[in-house]
Amino acid sequence: MSAFQGPAGRYAPSPSGDLHFGNLRTAVLAWLFARQSGRRFYMRVEDIDSERSSEESAQRQLEDLAALGIEWDDPVLYQHERGAAYAEALAALPTYECYCTRRDIREAASAPHAQPGMYPGTCRNLTDQERASRRSLLHTEGRLPAVRLKAQAPEWTVRDALRGEYTGAVDDVILKRGGRVDQAQAGDWAYNLAVVVDDGYQGVDQVVRGDDLLASAPAQAYLAHLLGYAEPGYVHVPLVVSRGGRRLAKRDGAVTLREMAPDGDYRPVVEAIAASLGHPGVGTLAELAQAFEPADLPREPWVWA
Ligand code: GLU
């Protein structure tokens, strides 16, 4: 039996460096939404990217989230342990191998009728013979094919608590990565598959995350539908941006918890998060949980000053 039980929310950081103020604010929001609606709350370490992820980074992120006062239900799920589940899901989906390099895609995507940002479909309808010859060429070049979803729906509609109904393209998203066999990421499971399989497995029916991921929600909800999982409700929250309007990044200064509170007094950081959510003067997450009203959540990006 699964150790997980829904209904649940989650926070799912990628362990490739310390979380910055924007990540921490989104984590607090995910926790607030889950707790206020009586859900369980899970942490999921999205460490499938074997080139960028590190165990040390995952540990530091979890320490920071705990130091801030976020509490979660056990156990923490690590995506690097979930290969068998992803393989099972992949086998249940309509898929095809894709032999394209990034450059092939760029070139095909600049053709007159190509849809911007979408896979141009080069490998979708190859004959068996074409497939065999591309596969053997790839083999000689020391490359692995990617595996793509053979999407049967051009678009899908999701429900977002802040954005209402949002319809977006599904696209033949990558489910397993290709690349040169000597690259660390070749053969890695892809985010779009892992996120859906794990949300389903953990009983996550409330996905709170940054609104940079809104455009990927339709493909993910479609995948959930194909795999027989209930489609989650979404809350895509505005990001924290720098004064220039770019998404907050490490280069914007002292943005991580450890940089913002080198003496280990995290109250000012909690205060800053609370202020950014419309509750100035609130200094603990327990007080914030009392004060927070989802309906009052600012709809504009928060500018880091
Ligand atoms: N791991 C992703 C990130 O850190 C978040 C994925 C999600 O919440 O669906 O950006």
Query: What percentage of residues in the chain have a pLDDT greater than 70?
Result: 100
Mean pLDDT of the region 105-133: 90
Query: Do 33 and 109 share a domain, yes or no?
Result: no
Ligand 1 atom showing the smallest separation from residue 212 Cα: 10
Phi-psi region of 49 (alpha: psi -120 to 50; beta: other; left: phi over 0): beta
Protein residues with CB under 6 Å of any ligand 1 atom: 12-14, 46, 195, 209, 213
Query: Do 124 and 217 share a domain, yes or no?
Result: no
Q: Which of 57, 300, 83 is nearest to 187 (CA)?
A: 83
Measure 199 CA to ligand 1 centroid, in angstroms.
Answer: 12
> What is the pLDDT at residue 112?
80
CATH number at residue 137: 3.90.800.10
Residue 127 lies in a domain: yes
- Lowest mean pLDDT across 38-42, 126-130, 246-250: 246-250
Ligand 1 atom showing the smallest separation from residue 199 Cα: 9
Query: Do 113 and 206 share a domain, yes or no?
Result: no
Ligand 1 atom showing the smallest separation from residue 13 Cα: 4
Measure 56 CA to ligand 1 centroid, in angstroms.
Answer: 18
Query: Do 127 and 214 share a domain, yes or no?
Result: no
Q: Which of 89, 108, 88 is nearest to 98 (CA)?
A: 108
Measure 160 CA to ligand 1 centroid, in angstroms.
Answer: 16
> What is the pLDDT at residue 2?
80
Query: Which of 10, 14, 31, when mutated, tests ligand 1's pocket best, judged by the most ligand atoms within 8 Å of its CB?
Result: 14
Indicate the burial class of 220 (C-beta count within 10 angstroms; 0-12, 13-18, 19 or more): buried
What is the C-alpha to C-alpha distance for residues 84 and 201, in angstroms, rounded to an integer? 13
> Dihedrals φ, ψ of 29, to 5°?
-65, -45
Residue 295 lies in a domain: yes
Over 70: is that where the pLDDT of 105 sits?
Answer: yes
Nearest CA to ligand 1 atom 6: 12
Query: Do 144 and 233 share a domain, yes or no?
Result: no
Residue 97 lies in a domain: yes
Query: Do 95 and 144 share a domain, yes or no?
Result: yes
Residue 62 lies in a domain: yes
Q: Residue 110: which domain range? A: 91-159+169-188
- Residue 1: both structure tokens together: 């039996």
Over 80: is that where the pLDDT of 262 sits?
Answer: yes
Query: Which of 25, 52, 195, 235, when mutated, tests ligand 1's pocket best, judged by the most ligand atoms within 8 Å of its CB?
Result: 195
Ligand 1 atom showing the smallest separation from residue 195 Cα: 9
Query: Which of 11, 16, 57, 191, when mutated, tests ligand 1's pocket best, judged by the most ligand atoms within 8 Å of its CB?
Result: 191
Q: Considering its fold, how many domains does the chain have in total?
A: 2
Query: Do 106 and 241 share a domain, yes or no?
Result: no
Per-residue model confidence as pLDDT tens digits over 200-233? 999 999 999 999 999 999 999 999 999 999 999 9
Mean pLDDT of the region 83-107: 95
Over 70: is that where the pLDDT of 1 sits?
Answer: no
165 within 8 A of 146, measured Cβ to Cβ:
no
What mean pLDDT, rounded, does the chain reach? 95
Query: Do 99 and 48 share a domain, yes or no?
Result: no
Measure 11 CA to ligand 1 centroid, in angstroms.
Answer: 8
Question: What letter does residue 150 receive in the DSSP assignment?
Answer: -
At 252, the pLDDT band (50, 70, 90 cuts) reads confident
In the chain, where does DSSP find H-type helix?
21-36, 55-68, 83-92, 102-109, 128-140, 191-201, 217-226, 257-260, 267-276, 285-291
208 within 8 A of 9, measured Cβ to Cβ:
yes
Residue 40 lies in a domain: yes
Nearest CA to ligand 1 atom 7: 12
Residue 1 lies in a domain: no
Measure 130 CA to ligand 1 centroid, in angstroms.
Answer: 36
Over 80: is that where the pLDDT of 173 sits?
Answer: yes
Over 80: is that where the pLDDT of 68 sits?
Answer: yes
DSSP calls for 18-73: --BHHHHHHHHHHHHHHHHTT-EEEEEE----TTT--HHHHHHHHHHHHHHT---P
CATH number at residue 293: 3.40.50.620
> What is the pLDDT at residue 250?
83
Ligand 1 atom showing the smallest separation from residue 23 Cα: 4
Crossing angle of the two packed helices 55-68 and 21-36, in degrees rounded to 10: 60
Query: Do 199 and 65 share a domain, yes or no?
Result: yes
Ligand 1 atom showing the smallest separation from residue 220 Cα: 9
Query: Do 104 and 150 share a domain, yes or no?
Result: yes
At 110, the pLDDT band (50, 70, 90 cuts) reads confident
> What is the pLDDT at residue 254?
84
Q: What is the CA radius of gyration of the chain?
A: 21
Residue 164 lies in a domain: no
Over 70: is that where the pLDDT of 132 sits?
Answer: yes
Report CA-CA distances (Å) from 239 to 26, 45, 211, 290, 291. 8, 20, 7, 23, 21
Residue 174 lies in a domain: yes
At 125, the pLDDT band (50, 70, 90 cuts) reads very high
Largest Cα–Cα separation, the chain: 68
Query: Do 148 and 96 share a domain, yes or no?
Result: yes
Query: Do 138 and 283 share a domain, yes or no?
Result: no
